[in-house]
Amino acid sequence: MLLPGAALLVLAVGLVLSALGHGQLAATLWNGSALLAAVLLLVEILARLRRREIGVDLIALLAIATAVLFGQALVAALVALMLASGRALESYSGRRAEHELRRLIDRAPRMAWRYRDSELEQVPVEHIQAGDRLLVRLGEMVPVDGVVLDNSVTLDESALTGEPLPVRREPGDTLRSGALNAGTPFEMRASHPATQSTYAAIVRMVEAARLSRAPFVRLADRYALLLIPVTLALAGIAWLISGDPLRVLAVLVVATPCPLILAVPIAIMSGISRCAHRGILIKDGATLEALARARRLFLDKTGTLTMGHVSVLAVESAGSHSREQLLRLAASLAQSSPHLVAQAIVETAQAHGLSLERAQEVREQPGAGLCGVVAGHAVMLGGHDYVAAATTALPWSEGMLRRMAYEVAGGSFIAIDGVMAGAVLFSDRLRLESPRALRLLRQAGIRHIVMLTGDRADAAQAIGMAVGVDEIHAGLSPAGKVAAIGQGRGEGTSLMVGDGINDAPALAAADVGIALGAGGTSASSEAAGVVLLVDRLDRVAEALRIARRSRAIAVQGVLVGMGLSLLAMLLAVAGYLPALAGAVVQEAIDLAVIGNALRALGAGWRERATPRLAGDWIDSLREEHAALLPLLERLRTAAEGLDDAPPAQAREELAGLIEALKSQLVPHEQADEDSLYPQLSRRLPGEDPLAALSHTHREIFRLVHLLEQMNAAPAGSSLEEIQRLLLRLDTLLSLHFAQEDELYHSLDSR
């Protein structure tokens, strides 16, 4: 701010001297400041010429020289002030645009506390190696990637993800460098040195983004060069029309400087900074521009559209044991295995509040299954062939295999005391936000969505239909994914979203690769142009919206700014805008263009209009749904097996189920209708945005009431009629809970 301050001071002093009758002294001061600005500008122009670059600064130099030559000292001083203030405004706006990027760089961890034997020493993070034991104190940053060693920890990951709420990490959980310890001190073990950790990769990407120049910026520079001959041509026309050198000066003044070279880089950098604030790292301006042009999207399936890990879908009984007994025995045995499916079974049993017993005499056949003794019963758990080889064949198991094929699910069969007793069905669940994320992507301008997967065709088809993709390619190797992307690149700018190491070639092959939830050290994040630090697919749509908005603001600044400058030049040619007024007008144009470009730092109307709910409130809503899951499973069991039990037993179980529905389900849904939905409706657009869900509530109330009446009728309804009603209620509740879960997830502020 030194140069604009000095130029303003000289201008003010000159005005005072002129008012006191010392016009010659004022002119000398004004000419001196203008010539100083001209010298500095000439040095800058010569330096650019050595780099074989030329810009519209040449017009500013011509304007100052012409003003001094024709004795317009005040105009020369105003141009010098305009030039200095323009540079200061550009520097200030550039710093604002890079604020989030600089914040990420400046807070990079530099020191860490490391244990050497039993003593602590403070060392630079560059000295940390994988395997070192570290201490992270309250308020300190996690210096490198690693794992929690001792107790649960509370971390502030807002700098990484843009989410303000703290997160919990348990012993054994992975940690990403850059997170802030918001709780008690804890110990961790480094898994990577500093140069290979998440935050180092983030800093590398941010530095590349700061130094990059987008194609649109370079194109803007070339277009700016057109202004020089246009300005000179208009100045020549002004001379021919009037023969007045002051008109020539007026044309030169209003052409200095050019809004084109101010609007574009500021808007592009503002967009990159805005993305960084939301946990979306973009490597350079060229990537942001490519995002803005994207029309075709390729998606990996596993870990991108799905959760990427096994989840238990259901526990099915062959009839001799209840589902709860089967789950308890299977989970007790599964505790002895490190297999992912076994761990998922254990987690499901624990979520249902089942107490597990220690298995004895456990033997595991890798890849097939395991067996052992649980509570005096010989239990087997594993694939169908493994379990069937030691048990008597049952028609039930053949039907279960057909169901698994239809539903594209895996299964672990359970045998108890040598008899096939049931099965645990599991699959890789669809991400909760996937269907909505694809809808948002289409709203953001994506016209064609293709799913690429190495999985079998039937599994891919099931996921693709659930989320609504346009095209599916299954059974692909990494090379096959690259080939599929290559075939589609001629149809517009393509994006590829993936999360695994095997996605790295495909991410590199697309015009823009987007690594989902990457920690910054994997092959996928190195190959990608965009890295999402938040493991949410809907952030891809947000990145597209920010990119399109930033580019639109840049184009808007160019068109409006250049249009106003050209209009001012035409007015100057016609003699309606003298040089002194032209300098003021051009300064106003520059201010308007810079202010408009900085709008890219903020949220657009769509983001501002989207409501967000506190994360703890969302968690409480999910916990309420989780508490009702056992009741829903009980309802499903009754709906599917009511006719298998003796009539008296069926009536007794039905009466208990109806009582549980009245005491647990109905109050929950009524509370949602009376208190939750009115609060949500005030946050959502439209007169009655939750009308469909409210209608579902009323149908649930009606079906439960009808079920109670049918069971209590003196004559008694047939079990077949009641079973049909149970099936309707089960289907309705499954859909209703899924819709509410998706709604809550979309409103989550984290």
Residue 609 above 60 pLDDT? no
CA dist 242 → 73, 413, 550 (Å): 22, 97, 43
Instruction: Indicate the residue type of 87.
Output: R
Residue 90 lies inside a defined structural domain of this protein: no
Q: What is the mean pLDDT of residues 185-190?
A: 91
Angle between helices 215-242 and 260-277 (to 10 degrees): 160
> Is residue 416 very low, low, confident or very high in pLDDT (cuts 50, 70, 90)?
very high
> Is residue 521 very low, low, confident or very high in pLDDT (cuts 50, 70, 90)?
very low
391 in the same domain as 357: yes
**Residue 357 has which token pair?**
């017993």
Contacts 24+ apart (CB under 8 A), 505-512: 505/478, 505/479, 505/481, 506/298, 506/300, 506/452, 506/478, 506/481, 506/482, 509/481, 509/482, 509/485, 510/298, 510/485, 511/290, 511/294, 512/287, 512/290, 512/291, 512/294
Report the pLDDT value the prediction gives residue 620, as an integer from 0 to 100. Answer: 77
**Residue 212 has which token pair?**
């990059």
Q: What is the mean pLDDT of residues 588-606?
A: 77
Residue 411 above 70 pLDDT? yes
Nearby residues of 616 by Cβ (< 8 Å), 6 or more positions away = 165
Residue 75 lies inside a defined structural domain of this protein: no
Among 747, 733, 742, 740, smallest CA distance to 664 is for: 733
Report the pLDDT value the prediction gives residue 708, as an integer from 0 to 100. Answer: 84
Residue 239 above 80 pLDDT? yes
473 in the same domain as 397: no
Nearby residues of 305 by Cβ (< 8 Å), 6 or more positions away = 299, 430, 431, 434, 451, 463, 467, 537
665 in the same domain as 675: yes
- For the ranges 298-312, 510-524, 565-579, 655-669, the lowest mean pLDDT is seen at 510-524
390 in the same domain as 380: yes
Which residue, chain included where needed, has tokens 């073990």? Answer: 189
Tell me the CATH number at 736. Answer: 1.20.120
Which one of 503, 520, 539 terminates a domain?
539
Residue 26 lies inside a defined structural domain of this protein: no
> Is residue 520 very low, low, confident or very high in pLDDT (cuts 50, 70, 90)?
very low
Instruction: Indicate the residue type of 476.
Output: L
**Residue 556 has which token pair?**
């808007």
pTM score, whole prediction: 0.70
Q: What is the mean pLDDT of residues 668-690?
A: 80
Report the pLDDT value the prediction gives residue 188, as an integer from 0 to 100. Answer: 92
- The model's pLDDT over 78-93, given as tens digits with 9 standing for 90+, comes to 777 777 776 676 666 6
**Residue 26 has which token pair?**
């004022």
- The model's pLDDT over 455-488, given as tens digits with 9 standing for 90+, comes to 777 778 888 888 889 998 888 877 788 888 888 7
Residue 423 lies inside a defined structural domain of this protein: yes
- The model's pLDDT over 420-461, given as tens digits with 9 standing for 90+, comes to 999 998 887 788 778 888 888 988 889 899 998 877 777 788
Share of the chain above pLDDT 70, in %: 84
> Is residue 494 very low, low, confident or very high in pLDDT (cuts 50, 70, 90)?
confident
Residue 562 lies inside a defined structural domain of this protein: no
Instruction: Tell me what the pLDDT averaged over the chain comes to.
Output: 80
743 in the same domain as 626: yes
Report the pLDDT value the prediction gives residue 283, as an integer from 0 to 100. Answer: 80
Nearby residues of 92 by Cβ (< 8 Å), 6 or more positions away = none
Which one of 201, 222, 250 terminates a domain?
201
Q: How far apart are CA 430 and CA 467, in angstroms?
A: 9
441 in the same domain as 404: no
Share of the chain above pLDDT 90, in %: 8
Rounding to the nearest 10 degrees, give the CA dihedral for residues 662, 666, 667, 670: -150
Domain of residue 508: give its range: 278-305+430-539
**Residue 20 has which token pair?**
């006191």
Residue 717 lies inside a defined structural domain of this protein: yes
179 in the same domain as 127: yes
Residue 219 lies inside a defined structural domain of this protein: no
CA dist 510 → 6, 281, 301, 529 (Å): 51, 17, 16, 10
Of these residues, 221, 300, 672, 748, which one is catalytic?
Answer: 300
404 in the same domain as 489: no
Residue 163 above 60 pLDDT? no
Residue 410 lies inside a defined structural domain of this protein: yes
Number of domains the chain contains? 4
Task: Give the pairing type, strands 419-430 and 306-317.
Answer: antiparallel
Q: How far apart are CA 279 and CA 273, in angstroms?
A: 10
Report the pLDDT value the prediction gives residue 374, as an integer from 0 to 100. Answer: 92
Residue 393 above 80 pLDDT? no
Tell me the CATH number at 505. Answer: 3.40.50.1000
Across-strand partners of 282? 530
503 is catalytic: no
Among 56, 10, 52, 4, smallest CA distance to 33 is for: 10
Give yes or no for a contact between 218 and 553, defined as CB atoms under 8 angstroms apart: no
317 in the same domain as 343: yes
Q: How far apart are CA 206 and CA 276, in angstroms?
A: 9
Across-strand partners of 180? 141, 156
